[in-house]
Structure formats: structure tokens, C-alpha cells
Amino acid sequence: MQRNTAKPRADWQRKVEVDGLTFHSPEDLAEQGAVYWDESAFYSFNADEIDTLESAANELQTMCLAAAQHIIDTKRYADLTIPPEAIPLIERTWNSEPPALYGRFDLMYDGSGPPKLLEYNADTPTSLIEAAVTQWNWLNECHVGSDQFNSLHERLVAKWKDIAPFLQQPVHFASADSEEDVLTVAYLRDTAQEAGLATAQLLMEEIGWDNGARRFVDLEDQPIRTLFKLYPWECLLAESFGPDAIATYDRTTWIEPIWKMLLANKGILPILWELYPNHPLLLEAYFDDPHAMRSYVRKPLLSREGANITLVAPGASTKTEGRYGEGRFVCQQAAPLATFPAADGSARYPVLGLWMIDQECGGMGIRESRTPITGNLSSFVPHLFR
């Protein structure tokens, strides 16, 4: 595994916008002289390293499913602050196995030892367009003859075809009103359409409620029978329409299904450590208390994009701000992230996102930051292997 410098394509902005990646240069990063899509560098791997990462992600998926079964069997919902009204649906959907689509493991790795799980984005992962499309097109233009760990687009289309018989069409796609979320959903909608499904797209705030029929409707007052929602379950249940979603759950096929709340919660990390102590793919983790760890990362159960993270080390600590600071948290061992020098001599800290489609790993995207905490503005850097 190496970090390599490269000369960006002269018209790279136009090319990535054609891919659907219009948020390549946000103002907050531009003020730092940086960009989100950063092809001034790329990571290279050998085939054995790619095999290691793929095998690790597949093993972690098996372990996480076993951990979800453990939570259900032992009723450990309070540890994850799961709302009581969601529990019967979690158990029912876990047993009935309704359609589920994707997730993303975030791993630390430097090529010299086993990857380590940082967290699992099992409900609402983003960074998908850049992983599935933009870095693939970059590879084919800039590095002909090299390969990339990336079959995401083909696997997504295949998964939609696989679950199509269980979906009432059109499949509605919804998200919050943010550029990245809307475009991520638009891309997923494209993969569903390529699979032959009828689709529609709207914002979460545009979803209506037909009180007479007791069901959700779209802007044309048509019933929403299948909904892919890029919107966290815990946020959805806290909305005014949350009780309606619970009461009428069986009238809509929800993707992702509600049982994914178990895996998208940071509480899965200490539970995995309990079930698989000292496993080479895991970092030591506990609920609320660091125990004997002197260096650790404190994470709220439901934080996202590096918000409200505290990195604690002897004599020092680093903290990020955000809106997830209330409630329970986990403490996870602070193993040092891989560090690579950039062209200007400063350090870069990569986190590898391993994408799961249909319970199997289908590709990788890399976010790198200038600090040990990966956040919403961390750059996406493409990769290849030889």
C-alpha cells in the first residue's frame, strides 16, 4: 500500500460533474486550499492486499450479523438506546429478511497487518458516486492496464434485479435536502432503473400522509409502497410521522429495513468485542467507560461524519464538534491510523471504506484527512491495484 502523487487532469472538474459528482470542491475545503475529490494523489495496492481487505470485510459482515442475532436473543436494545416501539419490528424484519441493499465498513489499514474495524455505516452510507463511478472513470482514463477493487455498479444493478420480485413499483427514492444526499439517491435510482425497475424521487419532507388510507403518498398523491430512504432510522422515528411509520410498516417495503438500526449503531463495536475478544479485525471497545485503556476514541452511539468525536491520549485530547453529543457513547481503542506524507510534507490519514452489496464486499473508496479524525470534509482519493 502506497500513496502516490499525480497530476490532475486539466478538466477534471467537468469530468467528475458528468459522473454526478458536483460537490467536488466545497467552499470550506477551498478555503484550506483543498478539494473533496482529490486526484492529485492516489493509493496503490497489490493483489494480496486487496484480497486481505475483501476477506476482512466479508468476515466482519458475518460477525456483525451474528452480533445482531445476539442483541435480539438477549434483548440488549437498551444498550443501543433503541426506541421500545421499534423493537417488535426489528425482530420481525430480522426473521422475515426483507430486501436490504448496501452498507460500508470503515477500516484502518496500512498494508502491514490486519485491517481494523472503525465502524459500520449500515443504514445510510454515502461517498458512493465517487467510489462506484468517478474513481472508475479516472482509472480508465489515467491508468490503463491497472485494476481497481470496484464492482459496485454491476453489483448494485444485480441486487436490484434480485430483489425486484419482492418490490411493489414504482420504487420511491427519498433523502434529506442536501446536495450529496440527493445525488447519492439519484445514482442509486439510476442503478434501479438499469435493472428495469420503475422509479420516482422526492425529498423526505415531500412525503405526504393519506389519513384516510393510512399510508404514505408522493407529490402526486400516489401510494408509496416501496421506499429507499437515505435517512437514518433513528431520525425518522423521531419525526412527527415516526409513529405512522411504525404503525403502517407492513404497508411499505423500507430499504434499508429497520433491523439495520442494530448495525448502524456504534454500540455494535463493544458487542463485537464481547463476542470476539482480541479478534485481529477488531479494536478493543466498551460502553461508556474506557476501562484500562489510556488512549481511546470516545464516540456517541449515533454520531456521523466524525462529529462529536474525542480522541484521548495521555496528557492530551482532541475533540470535534457536532450535534450528537448527548446520550450514551462508546470508547474504542485509539490505534494510530496509517500515516502517509503528502507532496507538501504534511501528513495524510486514510480510512478505507469497504462496500457491502448483497452481504458481499464489492469495492472500496478511500477518504483521507489531515488530522487523525476523519470528518465530513475529508477528501476522497482514488485507488488502484496491480
Is 330 among the domain residues? yes
Could you read off the pLDDT tens digit of each residue along the chain, which spans 386 residues?
Answer: 999 999 999 999 999 999 999 999 988 887 777 899 999 999 999 999 999 999 999 999 999 999 999 999 999 999 999 999 999 999 999 999 999 999 999 999 999 999 999 999 999 999 999 999 999 999 999 999 999 999 999 999 999 999 999 999 999 999 999 999 999 999 999 999 999 999 999 999 999 999 999 999 999 999 999 999 999 999 999 999 999 999 999 999 999 999 999 999 999 999 999 999 999 999 999 999 999 999 999 999 987 766 788 989 887 678 766 666 677 999 999 988 899 999 989 999 999 999 999 899 999 999 999 988 777 789 999 999 99
Cα 23 to Cα 105, 136, 183, 289: the distances in Å are 23, 17, 9, 38
The x, y and z cell numbers of residue 357, run together, are 452489496
What are φ and ψ of residue 170, in 5° steps? -75, 155
Instruction: Domain count for the chain, please give it.
Output: 1
Q: Find cell 449515533 and name the residue.
A: 302
At 33 the pLDDT is 79
At 374 the pLDDT is 79
Whole-structure pTM over 0.85, yes or no? Answer: yes
At 211 the pLDDT is 94
Which of 46, 60, 154, 48 minimizes the C-alpha distance to 106? 60
Q: What is the DSSP letter of 150?
A: B
Q: Is residue 178 within 8 Å of residue 221, measured between CB atoms?
A: no
At 56 the pLDDT is 99
Contacts of 53 (CB under 8 A, 6+ apart): 45, 107, 109, 115, 149, 352, 354, 361, 364
H or E element, residue 179: helix 179-194
Return the half-sphere exposure (C-beta side, CA atoms, 13 A cut-off) of residue 192: 26
Is 315 among the domain residues? yes
Residue span of the structural domain in which 330 resides: 284-334
Is 373 among the domain residues? no
At 306 the pLDDT is 65
At 322 the pLDDT is 65
At 318 the pLDDT is 80
Is 60 among the domain residues? no
Which of 353, 358, 379 minimizes the C-alpha distance to 105? 353
Is 308 among the domain residues? yes
Is 317 among the domain residues? yes
C-alpha 198: how far from its chain's center?
25
The x, y and z cell numbers of residue 35, run together, are 478539494
Cα 289 to Cα 281, 293, 300: the distances in Å are 21, 9, 12
Q: Between vectors from CA 377 to CA 384 and to CA 355, what angle results, nearest 5°?
A: 45
Q: Is residue 257 within 8 Å of residue 100, measured between CB atoms?
A: yes
Torsional class of 167: left (φ above 0), alpha (ψ -120 to 50), beta (otherwise):
beta
Is 75 among the domain residues? no
Is 304 among the domain residues? yes
At 174 the pLDDT is 99
- Length, in residues, of the chain: 386
